[in-house]
Amino acid sequence: MLAIGASTFGTVTGTNGQSESFNGLTQAVGNADLGPALNAQDIIMSRAPGELILEIVGGNDLGKDAAVTINMPGLGQGCPQGTQQQ
């Protein structure tokens, strides 16, 4: 796993209004090997190509159209590709 930022925090809000918060991000979570050709991350990502997939350990499924706010203070590298500063 690659740590993206210990100071990173955010909130995910489902279309039902339920929210989950998180602190810190890693690039891959729960990437269990399921065989020689596939692993859990590849299987999940193949279900939603090009979509953000955010797993909050111990969190609830907030659905495909959940709103995500990610705060990445003090990185000094600008915003990740495909995102914008607000």
Question: In this structure, is residue 85 part of a structural domain?
Answer: no
- Specify the amino acid at residue 73: P
Domain of 7 in residue numbering reads as 3-71
- Specify the amino acid at residue 56: I
pTM assigned to the model: 0.63
Question: In this structure, is residue 19 part of a structural domain?
Answer: yes
Query: How many structural domains does the chain have?
Result: 1
Give the sign of the dihedral formed by CA 38, CA 42, CA 43, CA 49.
Answer: negative
Q: What does the longest C-alpha to C-alpha distance in the chain come to?
A: 42
Question: In this structure, is residue 84 part of a structural domain?
Answer: no
Question: In this structure, is residue 13 part of a structural domain?
Answer: yes
CB 56 within 8 A of CB 12: yes
Question: In this structure, is residue 41 part of a structural domain?
Answer: yes
Question: In this structure, is residue 77 part of a structural domain?
Answer: no
Question: In this structure, is residue 63 part of a structural domain?
Answer: yes
Averaged confidence pLDDT in the chain: 76
pLDDT (tens digit per residue) in 30-54: 555 555 556 777 787 788 887 888 8
CB 36 within 8 A of CB 72: no
pLDDT band at 24 (very low <50, low <70, confident <90, very high): confident
Question: In this structure, is residue 82 part of a structural domain?
Answer: no
Which residues, 6+ apart, have CB-to-CB distance to 37 below 8 Å?
A: none
